[in-house]
Amino acid sequence: MEPKIYFPEDHGLDQDLIDPDALFILKKLRDAGFTAYLVGGSVRDILARVKPKDFDISTSALPEEIKKIFRKNCILIGRRFRLAHIRFGRKIFEVSTFRAGETDEADLIVRDNVWGTAEEDARRRDFSINGLFYDPYHKTVIDYVDGWHDLKEGVLRSIGNPEVRFKQDPVRMIRLLKFHARFDLKMEPGCVKALKSCREEIVKSAPARILEELLRMLESGHGHDFFKLLSEYQLLDLLIPELDQFLRSENGSQVYEFLKTADLIHHKNENVTLERSLLISCILFPIVERQIADFCETHDKTPNFGELSVLVWSVIRETMTSAFTHFPRKISAISAYIIITQYRLTPFGKRRSHRSKFLHDKDFPLALRFLRIRALADNQYSDKFFEWENMYYQIKKHHGDKKPKYVSQKRRKPKRKSAQSNS
């Protein structure tokens, strides 16, 4: 089948949005006699006038041939899906060989190293909007899957039978909701029907892939909408059941409020990507607050720090560690520190903190940033945030350090008569 070709006068694609190193890779492959195109999300984003974060390349060159061209800049990775990572400084470009199309059998894909043509490669991708190629040499968009039309119409459509495609790779269901949340695209009715009928297939996915999709969406500035969709379509119940149960309770709106605040921070400054431990804390903190309220009601007292630590780790184990996605211990440990430290920054009742110690903790800046998120979500914590920010800044200044990046951009000036201003 001949593809539809769109020329510059049709697409108006701004080639300045393409990373020069990506163009260099494409040129080197072409000069070596291979076909090479920009593919997937980067083409989709540029056509939507959005600067891509990643640039993926598909080529007729085999992995070993790619390695031969780029030598030390290239490493080959993966068994199930063999591809090349080409490095330029801190940047990594993913280069994959054209792969043959998938069969119509609804079996989980366990091997994906069958080489094919550009058309076959386009047809094995998940959604039509991600199946477009861009050829920088001829400056043309190459469309085998009607992705151009769907992008213009704002439609999310599976390439092939969605029920079959979701069973072949259940992570596609997560990606369907991801693109719906990020781009506000309409899900084609067949995709919605397949999503509902195939939802239980999600547990056949590799947990690490699911976890990475969840974390990336938290970082994307669309975590609020994404997690609402995960719960609405009953995928979260299979992946993180304790979280889904809490989100459906009367206190669930608190998690959504934190996620909305984290999204707002991202959209106000796209150069800022919140640490994953902070984003996980946005999910866990309201659950901990609920557990503390239950503790106080049962024991008729507030927990001491030993009891608080037990409560926090209990929530982490029940919610995250035992989840299908197996959250890493490091993220869990830092999130636990962030949450426990909140009760030093905003103590129970009239308790006072021993301020001279924990301000020097290496992870204290993260705890301070989370207090800022709390202050943005609930204005009653604003004065406390500025008080602690000022105190921490004074300590850093005393040690000759510049103002850290994690403190607010507009710090209030302290009053002259007070060393700890709440203004």
Contacts for 361 with CB less than 8 Å, ≥ 6 apart:
337, 341, 367
Domain count, the chain: 1
- Residue 395 lies inside a defined structural domain of this protein: no
Find the mean pLDDT for residues 279-293: 97
In the numeric block, the tokens 């089948």 are attached to 1
pLDDT at 348: 83
- Residue 92 lies inside a defined structural domain of this protein: yes
- Residue 374 lies inside a defined structural domain of this protein: no
Residue 415: is its pLDDT beyond 50? no
pLDDT tens for each residue of 356-392: 678 888 999 999 999 999 999 999 999 999 999 998 8
Rounded to 5°, angle at Cα 152 from 146 and 158: 45
pLDDT tens for each residue of 36-63: 999 999 999 999 888 898 999 999 999 9
Residue 411: is its pLDDT beyond 70? no
**Rounded alpha-carbon distances, angstroms, from residue 306 to 143, 281, 349:** 61, 19, 17
Q: What is the CATH number of the domain that holds 60?
A: 3.30.460.10
pLDDT at 423: 35
- Residue 419 lies inside a defined structural domain of this protein: no
Residue 101: is its pLDDT beyond 70? no
Virtual torsion, Cα 175, 180, 181, 184, nearest 10 deg: 150
- Kindly list the catalytic residues: 54, 56, 126
Residues spanned by the domain of 18: 4-154
Residue 13, amino acid: L
Least confident of 18-22, 235-239, 320-324: 320-324
pLDDT tens for each residue of 8-34: 998 988 888 999 999 999 999 999 999
- Residue 410 lies inside a defined structural domain of this protein: no
Residue 408: is its pLDDT beyond 90? no
pLDDT at 321: 77
Residue 402: is its pLDDT beyond 70? no
- Residue 300 lies inside a defined structural domain of this protein: no
- Residue 27 lies inside a defined structural domain of this protein: yes
- Residue 73 lies inside a defined structural domain of this protein: yes
Identify the H or E element spanning 133. Answer: strand 132-135
